[in-house]
């Protein structure tokens, strides 16, 4: 008799969790921050087509031709507003090598990144050394009218 109530209860909990992601507040969940080499992005389909395979990921890079660099891996949660051409990521960071705040705009390469992981990369000349890590950082998704849509930041950036 108990088993009859367990399955519906689990389904209701799952539905509530999914519904909160669909209609909840739009926010950025930074999953990881690390340096990736070019080899980290190689997938089997690339050997056959010669084109980078993204699968269910979205890549936004400062230098489109360079894959190697420091990446913020972000999962976007909630109801994503309609993004237009000109939307971009605004990335600010400070490292131990250079205490001055660095800032760069990275174009949003795919306006439909609902349910995907977004790799926001500081590549090429924007991040030369694999041993360097940011001490403080902030990410902001900005629309074409320079209005902030969502923001995530490190603890130190908020101080």
CA distance to 84, 86, 91, 140, 158, per residue, from 145 (Å): 10, 8, 17, 14, 25
**From CA 68, how far away is CA 51, in angstroms rounded?**
16
Q: Is 93 exposed, middle or buried (0-12, 13-18, 19+ CB in 10 A)?
A: buried
Encode pLDDT of 20-77 as tens digits. Answer: 444 556 778 999 999 999 888 877 777 787 777 777 888 999 998 899 999 999 998 8
Q: What are the boundaries of each domain within the chain?
A: 26-153
Q: Going edge to edge, which strands form the sheet with 148-153?
A: 102-107, 88-95, 134-142, 148-153
Dig out the tokens for 77 from the structure.
Answer: 């949660």
Q: pLDDT tens, 6-25?
A: 555 555 555 555 544 445 56
- Whether the full predicted model's pTM is greater than 0.85, yes or no, is no
């Amino acid at each position: 008799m108990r088993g009859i109530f367990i399955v519906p209860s689990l389904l209701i909990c799952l539905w509530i969790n999914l519904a909160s992601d669909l209609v909840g507040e739009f926010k950025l969940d930074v999953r990881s921050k690390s340096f990736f080499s070019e080899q980290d992005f190689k997938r089997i389909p690339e050997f056959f087509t010669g084109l980078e395979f993204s699968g269910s990921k979205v890549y936004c890079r400062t230098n489109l031709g360079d894959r190697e660099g420091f990446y913020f891996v972000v999962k976007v949660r909630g109801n994503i507003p309609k993004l237009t051409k000109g939307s971009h990521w605004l990335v600010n960071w400070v490292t131990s090598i250079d205490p001055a705040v660095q800032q760069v705009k990275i174009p949003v390469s795919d306006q439909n990144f609902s349910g995907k992981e977004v790799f926001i990369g500081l590549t090429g000349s924007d991040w030369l050394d694999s041993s360097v890590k940011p001490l403080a950082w902030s990410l902001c998704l900005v629309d074409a009218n320079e209005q902030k849509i969502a923001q995530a930041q490190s603890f130190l950036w908020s101080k």
